[in-house]
Amino acid sequence: MIGAAINLLRGARVGFVLAREGALALVDPSELPAHLRFALKLGRTLERRGLGHGAAGLSAALTRLGPSYVKFGQFLATRPDIVGMRAASDLERLQDRVPPFPQETALKVVEMALGKPVDALFVSFSEPIAAASIAQVHKAVVQDADGTQRALAVKVMRPGVRERFMRDLEVMRFMARVVHALSPQAERLRPREVVEILARSVLMEMDFRLEAAAASEIAENTKDDLDFRVPKPEWELTAREVLSAEWIEGVRLHSAAELAAAGHDPQAIGRTVIQSFLRQAIRDGFFHADMHQGNLLVDAEGRLVAVDFGIMGRLGLNERRFLAEILLGFILRDYRRVAKVHFEAGYVPAHHSVEDFAQAIRAIGEPIHQRRADEISMSKVLTLLFDITALFDMSTRTELVMLQKTMVVVEGVARSLDPRLDMWTTAEPVVRSWITKNAGPLGRAQSGFEALRVVSDLVGDIPDLATRLKRVLIRLDEAGTGDARRLEHFARSEGRRAIWSTLALWGIAVGALVMAFRGV
């Protein structure tokens, strides 16, 4: 009861700040019942004069409310399906920058997390060089057994941030329940689900071991990419509150002029940004979902380097095929192909017509082919595509929305380096390579072998199942002869059925292989 009252007071403060900064202008009153329309009208009387549009007010309100709400806003920036494109674009500019906490406090966090004095771990440990709401970064130097010294970037968690976030999270959960209770229609925005997704995302971001694991996975996936790399985590100097990784000397992607002055080719780097992202998304199914200029550098060898792996995205095989096929379909102007892959992936219900859907997609594709390649936005095409699919009852896919928003950012970075970049020509080699490998003859053969492996595993389990059944039979025989005879008869029947099932499974496997190699 007391907890609910506290959450009510904290929620009232949040509501007041949102109203004061004009964020309530984002709410469409036509979708609200009468009592909530009155409450909205009353709340908007609290707005400060001279405010801009509601999206700007939402950013201002979240900044006033503190770091947890800034994180919430940055998360909403990846969900235009909830807040709208205008608000999502505005929320992207939320700055997660706060004053650093004292050096002495940082040293204590490191010592507690790693279990040794800082002097025993590092040759030197600098003052903070960057600070955010969750952590700050220091530059440190370690000495290897052979006497070699190496520089590391050490990320130290801000004390008390986990506890503060958990407190604010309870308020967000309380407000989501209130919204649902007052307006069941608002459930289409899934406020409770959004809060829980945010909770999982930030709690993972607050365990630096998971961030190090993400960096390690990306490094393994991209080890053969000559134009891209990530800093290597230092596992022995990493814990939940401390992340140590290779220090990267390089030029950030804030300015094409700065890159050119350092001897790099901005146009080539722009192409690398696009192709690296698409390789991660389509080839690997695991991509850096926060690839803005501040998280990208170019090292002395001219390789693109990504840092900060707190926000990552995953795509399953269906989603990867979906992305590759629709991009290639637009490149080739094959709109029926784009439509079919939506149906094959199960994204559009089968009661709709493929031809009608292809016609709707043509309305997106044909206008872009009337323009110069450097004027076509790949991310805008995907945005329009998702708008069209809503008319055909395509349900929102969180992973695809995050992909689309990341592509908006990546495309913006690439075009800032080369305004005339042809996104489609740049993307085509990555897309074609994946489709050739996974959807062509080689891919079909691989699918056939995978089917054979699965069937073989099933067949291999049959002797074990028969042994277990025999043990049960023996135990029941000890309990009663009559029951055992009935069960023995049942076991023999099941045994014959298992034999025929085995033959059928092998038949399916052989058929799958024949179909696969016929495609080859």
Tokens for 434?
């994946």
Note the pLDDT of residue 447.
47
List, as own/partner pairs, every contact residues 214-220 make where C-beta atoms lie below 8 angstroms and the sequence separation is at least 24, other chains included.
214/286, 214/309, 214/312, 215/245, 215/309, 217/286, 218/280, 218/284, 218/286, 218/288, 218/306, 218/309
Note the pLDDT of residue 116.
95
Q: What is the mean pLDDT of residues 369-374?
A: 65
Note the pLDDT of residue 186.
57
Note the pLDDT of residue 328.
83
Pick from 448, 439, 450: nearest CA to 517: 448
User: Which residues make Cβ contacts (< 8 Å) with residue 334, sequence separation at least 6?
Assistant: 328
Upper half-sphere CA count for residue 336 (Cβ side, 13 Å)? 1
Question: Which residues in 222-251 are b (16+ Cβ under 10 Å) and which e?
Answer: beebebbbbbebbeebbbebbbbbbebebb
Q: How confident is the model at residue 406 (pLDDT cuts 50, 70, 90)?
A: confident
Q: What is the mean pLDDT of residues 290-300?
A: 90
Within its chain, how far is the Cα of 362 from the centroid?
29
Note the pLDDT of residue 294.
85
Pick from 43, 42, 50: nearest CA to 18: 43
Catalytic residue among 290, 308, 334, 393: 290
The pTM assigned to this predicted structure is 0.72
Active site residue 284: no
Tokens for 200?
């999982």
Which amino acid is present at 112?
Answer: M
Q: What is the mean pLDDT of residues 381-393?
A: 73
How far is residue 242's CA from residue 237's CA, in Å, rounded to a whole number? Answer: 7
Pick from 103, 98, 96: nearest CA to 156: 103
What are the tens digits of pLDDT across the range 464-504? 666 666 665 566 565 555 555 665 665 566 555 555 555 55
What are the tens digits of pLDDT across the range 157-177? 999 888 888 888 888 888 777
Radius of gyration of the chain (CA): 28
Note the pLDDT of residue 436.
85
Q: Which residues pair with 149 in a beta bridge?
A: 143
